[in-house]
Amino acid sequence: IHQVFEEQAKKTPNNIAIVYEDKNLTYKQLNEKSNALAHYLLSKKVKPGDLIAIYVNRSLEMIIGLLGILKSGAAYVSIDPSYPKNRIEYILSDSKASLALTQEELKDTLPQSNSEIVCIDTLDLGSQSTKKPLSNVNSSNLAYVIYTSGTTGTPKGVLIGHDNVNRLFKATNTKFDFNENDVWTQFHSFAFDFSVWEIWGALFYGGKLVIVSYLTSRSSEEFHDLLIKEKVTVLNQTPSAFKQIIQIDKNKENPLSSLRYVIFGGEKLEMEILSPWYDKYQSDTPLIINMYGITETTVHVTHKVLSKEDVQKPESTLGSLLPDLSGYILDKNNTLVPKGVAGELHISGDGLARGYLNKEELTKEKFI
């Protein structure tokens, strides 16, 4: 992941890579700051396969932290500070993270654990080298662990490798034409796998990533204003969140004219919510795309381009599988069902996670 970013940083060193409120970093600056952090982590004897928790608020430091961890060879475990205390404690305990990267303002809210606490915003990175670190990491190594919600039981840490993420963007290359002129938002929590698509989608192609503050993410009015101000071109939303944007936008004189793509994910799409949107915008400007997937399949599994006609004739919004994935409808005995018979969707292919952290039996059950 970080090597793809580094190649892009060579191509567009002076392009703005990330923005948070009134602060920003170019690709060159982000690369050098994350290199410095990686050198610090390597001085702590971090090695490929190690897990490092990252417990930070939305900020430039968040992206520096993710990249620095990956450059050190370790994998990141995202922990949202807004999580309930018992969930934070559980993730720290279950992951057995050797280090926890945080910020000074959050340090005292981090539960007791065996993880060494490092405040990224007060760390003297100026004393570290900004040259590319040598970590012996490769595409088969672990990149991140994101924990499921736990709505169906205990939260599970999903193990995703560098190769899982890189093939996601290769598999979707023919579906999109992302480029260095695109402006993306990171609207979602970095502990929700939709953020993987938002963050690396921007940084893999030389685009600008606008990190949406927590308060702005909770105000559809302010978020709509931000989309106009930053001239956002790629917007990733759950349908329920976009429904609020539609309601605000229909009464606005300034349309979201910069948008090229609105990409749905994270929950089921009810097509009727798009009716007022298509009353204002053409079907292909911006292009609205529905994508389905779960954390265990590396964000996205299917892809469907939507149009105004889909509102009048609503059918399945799942669309077709990404080219490196296969899907099967199976019964409770994992046997293919006949056409037209209900069953469960099973996914196979290069997007599949390695399994669940510290849950070998469940991994064997689910990853057959």
pLDDT confidence of 128, banded at 50, 70, 90? very high
Would the pLDDT of 89 be above 80?
yes
Residue 23 has phi, psi (to 5 degrees) of -115, 150
Bridge-partner residues for 263, per DSSP?
236, 289
pTM of model > 0.85: yes
pLDDT confidence of 293, banded at 50, 70, 90? very high
Q: Using one digit for the tens of pLDDT, what is the confidence trace for 153-198?
A: 789 999 999 999 999 999 999 999 999 999 999 999 999 999 999 9
**What is the rounded average pLDDT of the residues 241-269?**
92
Q: With helix as H, strand as E and coil as C, how does 255-308 read?
A: CCCCCCEEEECCCCCCHHHHHHHHHHCCCECCEEEEEECCHHHCCCCEEEEECH
Which residue type is seen at 297?
T
Residue 90, helix vs strand vs coil: helix
Q: Using one digit for the tens of pLDDT, what is the confidence trace for 8-41?
A: 999 999 999 999 999 999 999 999 999 999 999 9
pLDDT at 142: 98
